[in-house]
Amino acid sequence: MHDMLIPPEQLIKQILTKNNNSLATLVNRSQVYQTLNHALKCFLDKKIQPHCRIYDYKDNCLILATDSPHWHLRLRCMTADLLSYLRNEKQFYALATIKIIVQPENNKLKSRTTTNKQQTRDVPTDAAEGVSSAADGITDESLKAQLQQLAKTLEQS
């Protein structure tokens, strides 16, 4: 009977990788955004990094947001090189276009889920604590980091 028990980290990994699971979708999307963000930070000059963010990535189109027209123009000049750079990443080989929008500082890059009423979901106040405590018992460092990131995101919502 003890042979049938699955270690908690394997069980959580199985739950998170099920294709029909919305939590798995959230984790996978988070991983894509983390990879994109890392690649963007590696590509961009340190002067422009604080002024540029990933706004959305959907249907092989990356939308970046800058906080002023000045940085928009600077980023626009780098678009072709950035597109080539990102296509070298195996996840983004099919990236077709990069669009750039300007969102001034006082409109701080809002999440698309908070601006689109159809996508907004109420998250229980203790959800972040539950995910965080689940992460504490995980020995797989990659999975633990992903759960901690998810907990952080849930705390902010």
The reported pLDDT for the residue numbered 99 is 96
- Domain membership of residue 9 (yes or no) is no
Specify the CATH number for the domain of residue 79: 3.30.300.180
- Closest alpha carbon to 38 in 149, 112, 154: 149
Same-domain pairing of 37 and 79: yes
**Successive 10-residue mean pLDDT values, the chain, 157 residues:** 65 65 75 90 92 91 92 92 92 92 67 46 67 78 83 78
- Domain membership of residue 83 (yes or no) is yes
- Domain membership of residue 157 (yes or no) is yes
Same-domain pairing of 72 and 118: no
User: Residue 77 sits in which domain range?
Assistant: 28-109
- Domain membership of residue 133 (yes or no) is no
Same-domain pairing of 144 and 73: no
The reported pLDDT for the residue numbered 63 is 94
The reported pLDDT for the residue numbered 141 is 85
The reported pLDDT for the residue numbered 100 is 94
